[in-house]
Amino acid sequence: MARRIPRLETIEAFIEAARAPNFRIAAERCAISPAAFSRRIQAFAAFAGCDLFERTAQGMRLTDSGRACLAALEPTYLEMRRAALEIGLAARPAKVSISLSHSLAVGWLIPRLDRLRARHPQIDVVIRTDRTAAAVRAGDADLGVCAQDVDVSDLVAEHFLDMHIFPVACPAVGETFRAGAGLERLRLLAVIQHPDVWEWWSREVGQPMPGLRAAQTFDILQAMYEASAAGHGVSAASHVTVQPHLASGRLVELGLPAARYPGCYRLAATARRLQSPPVRAVWTWMREEAAADPAPSPELRSAA
């Protein structure tokens, strides 16, 4: 009589136990109780006919026999899991929610959504405008884009985008600047989180102007850009969020250098949410989009 192989969930339990730092985490990854997980490990050990793990001062670790089993099974298991997840992803629509600031949503994400739909037509994106990581922690958002000052210590997080700052204005104000009006003679705008950005920018680009101050501040970048587009002053623009205004011609560059602002944006999620194929697909797509986003040169920029 042919010997029956273990059920797939029993093999999965062994592989997760071998990969996880402890059995409790491995049980969570399998979405079962520790007791049920232990029974699966015992069932696989009985099939293998040998001890797969040994207890040490640092916890459970694989025996030589366990390592041999893992080497034989893991590649095939991972390939089966990848194929099954791709089938599931293609078979049904999915929603992935992204938490990010209003300015990033309007200036960076929304203009790129057509490319996401072309890559993953089965995924619908839900946008939450929140610059904190609260929605990600609470499970109300699958992914978050967080500024450097946001605490992401308990999340999976990685560098996403740098921020480069340079002056922009509406075409009429741009003409005034090119006619000889210096920045100190123009009305300068900034966001309320960085009211000293103009003096900082002038130092960074090697043209220090002590006392250079914003005449008006805004709580979001997009409001500042709209004020500039209406002719109310020169904005300290972030290259990450200002591109739609430049592409439309409502704002133009002044031919001045860009400076990299301290800190960055980070992409964040919980480890559990990243196990979802649609969430992982959007995470990967966002990383690729960010990598393809060219940073401005610190040299003098071409004035429009």
Nearest-angstrom CA–CA distance, 14 and 69: 9
User: Coil, strand or helix: which one is 212?
Assistant: coil
- CATH 3.40.190.10 range(s) for the chain read 94-159+264-291, 163-262
Query: Is 245:229 a contact under the CB 8 Å cutoff?
Result: yes
- Choose which CATH entry (1.10.10.10, 3.40.50.2300, 3.90.1640.10, 1.10.1740.10) describes domain 8-89: 1.10.10.10
Q: What is the pLDDT of residues 234-274, one digit of tens each?
A: 999 999 999 999 999 999 999 999 999 988 899 999 998 99
Q: What is the pLDDT of residues 203-225, one digit of tens each?
A: 999 988 888 999 999 999 999 99
Rg of the chain in Å (alpha carbons): 26
Nearest-angstrom CA–CA distance, 48 and 300: 68
Query: Is 147:138 a contact under the CB 8 Å cutoff?
Result: no
Q: In the predicted model, is pLDDT for residue 298 greater than 80? A: no
For the ranges 88-97, 165-174, 181-190, which has the lowest average pLDDT? 88-97
Nearest-angstrom CA–CA distance, 182 and 41: 73
For domain 94-159+264-291, the CATH superfamily is Periplasmic binding protein-like II (3.40.190.10)
CATH number of 163-262: 3.40.190.10
Nearest-angstrom CA–CA distance, 52 and 43: 11
As to burial, measured by CB atoms within 10 angstroms (0-12 exposed, 13-18 middle, 19+ buried), residue 227 is: middle
Check residue 2 and give its pLDDT: 57
**193-210 burial string, b = 16+ CB within 10 Å, else e?**
ebeebbbbbbebbeeeee
| Banded model confidence at residue 30, pLDDT cuts 50, 70, 90 | confident
Give the mean pLDDT of the chain. Answer: 89
Query: Is 120:133 a contact under the CB 8 Å cutoff?
Result: no
- CATH 1.10.10.10 range(s) for the chain read 8-89
Top pLDDT among 59 and 28 is at 28
Check residue 154 and give its pLDDT: 87
